[in-house]
Amino acid sequence: MSVSPARACGIDFGTSNSTVGWLRPEAGALIPLEDGKVTLPSAVFFNADEDTTCFGRAALAEYLDGYEGRLMRALKSLLGSSLIDGSTEVLGRQLSYRELLRQFIGELKTRAEGFAGRRFEAAVLGRPVHFVDDDEDADRRAQDTLGEIARSVGFTEIAFQFEPIAAAFHYEQDLAREELVLIVDIGGGTADFSIVRLSPERAKRVERREDLLANAGVHIGGTDFDRALSLAEVMPLLGMNSQKKSGIEIPSAPFFRLATWHLINFSYTRAAWNELQEIYRDAAERDKLDRLLNTVSQRDGHWLALQVEQAKIGLSGQECVSLELDRIARAPLAHTIDRAAMDAALAPLTTRVRDTVAQTLAGAGVPASRIDTVFFTGGSSGISLLRKQIAELLPDARAVEGDLFGSIGAGLAVEAARRFG
């Protein structure tokens, strides 16, 4: 591989965070994208007060500071969904979801080029093993859509690589001997797995097809964990599972919208507000429904989702966390969540992830005892229950934690240099 800077970059467009990788001599693989940080949260805020658009941490900050406007997050979730061909109203005009993705990916390209001091016309884009579970046509359309958007912002040469394979290439850079490695990549939207033979000698090859023993994935990630935790622990505080005066349970749709990152903005439509008013009239526990109406009328859905996300992250390292929810209660309201409660909420999802790992092993045709290393990457791979379940499947393998947010982008940079020079 050339010691001069690569002419191509690698782009990890993630559900929660995005990175851009670029190989050059004596430098880290990842390009700083915002305030010296190599990650750019995959968020866009359309500021109505100042008629501006901002991205990443700045987008989240302006939203939390109370500016009037529209926050969009979990943008990658649009790929493979029926929403991708639709549009939404932003600052009084219709914005297509394709244009929304074009703006964000274009911003990644612009920031990377600004740092590099050169244009990037070639790129390797990361992709999950499955954009869409059990639907090859929809999965292909999702990749095609991402490719079309990348071309529309100025990339003329495009290749794709599975995200866990990219993470494997990053891990391989530091290996001293051959290993059989299970890559566990659990990001914001998907859980992806690959079993790969890696070694210093194999790293020199451009074609690595024979080194890949198995690939598998399931459409479960951090935003799904957030939703499950919110539905189990937070939405009941807003009236979920409570009853109408007739004794019938109130509809659950408003709570599912508020608990799902890419659906939160649908809570603010006129139809959704009318639905809430009708639910409120018949509710037996109006004090809880008051919190729901406060959340929607104040457009605090993303704020609430951020509190749940931070609780999930906190419970990966401590036994309990306290959520301070005065903002939506308009009165003191604290709610404590412990590790056991989170485990119970996430167990159906982590069990599906574990089962997919087992399928990956079966697909590779190797016993668990043959796996030398489990390499964890992706911001949601640190969940303790998930790690415990994988460790039970592979008790003899050593666990290695990569850069949870940067391994894929760095590996895509390696792939970009191999493919395009």
The burial of 81, by beta-carbon neighbours within 10 Å (0-12 exposed, 13-18 middle, 19 or more buried), is given as middle
CATH placement of domain 8-176+404-420: 3.30.420.40
**pLDDT of the residue at 274:** 95
- At residue 271 the predicted structure's pLDDT band, cuts being 50, 70 and 90, is very high
Residue 262 has pLDDT above 50, yes or no: yes
Spatial separation of the C-alpha atoms in residues 382 and 326, rounded to whole Å = 29
pLDDT at site 3 = 64
The mean pLDDT of 204-214, rounded to a whole number, is 86
pLDDT level of residue 1 (50, 70, 90 thresholds): very low
Q: Could you tell me what percent of the chain has a pLDDT over 90?
A: 85
Q: What would the mean pLDDT of 381-403 be, rounded to a whole number? A: 94
Mean pLDDT value of segment 203-215 = 86
Does residue 205 register a pLDDT over 90? no
Res. 207 pLDDT band, cuts 50 70 90: confident
| Res 373 pLDDT > 70 | yes
Task: Give yes or no for residue 241 having a pLDDT over 70.
Answer: yes
In this prediction, residue 80 carries a pLDDT of: 85
Q: Across residues 247-265, what is the average pLDDT?
A: 94
Three-class SS state of 133 = coil
pLDDT tens for residues 88-109?
888 889 999 999 999 999 999 9
| SS3 of residue 113 by DSSP | helix
321 confidence band (pLDDT: 50, 70, 90):
very high
What's the pLDDT at 421?
Answer: 85
- Please give the pLDDT value at position 91: 85
- How far apart are alpha carbons 386 and 383 in whole angstroms? 5
Question: In this model, does residue 28 exceed pLDDT 90?
Answer: no
Tell me: pLDDT of 20 over 70: yes
H helix or E strand, kind and range, residue 403: none
Residue 403: both structure tokens together: 């850069």
Instruction: State the Rg of the chain over Cα.
Output: 22
Among 17-21, 133-137, 279-283, 322-326, the least confident range: 133-137
Using CA atoms, how far apart are residues 328 and 258, in angstroms rounded to an integer?
13
H-helix or E-strand containing 334?
A: strand 334-338
CA 255/CA 19 separation, integer angstroms = 32
The residues, ordered by sequence, that sit 6+ positions from 127 with a Cβ below 8 Å of its Cβ are 143, 146, 160, 161, 162, 163
Q: Residues 396-421: pLDDT tens digits? A: 999 999 888 899 999 999 999 989 98
Q: What pairs with residue 96 in β-bridges?
A: 87
Q: How does residue 50 score in pLDDT terms, banded at 50, 70 and 90?
A: very high
Q: Residues 23-47: what's their mean pLDDT?
A: 94
What is the mean predicted confidence (pLDDT) over 242-247?
A: 93
Domain coordinates of the chain in residue numbers?
A: 8-176+404-420, 223-343
> Is the pLDDT assigned to residue 15 strictly greater than 60?
yes
- What's CA 374's distance to the chain center, in Å? 21
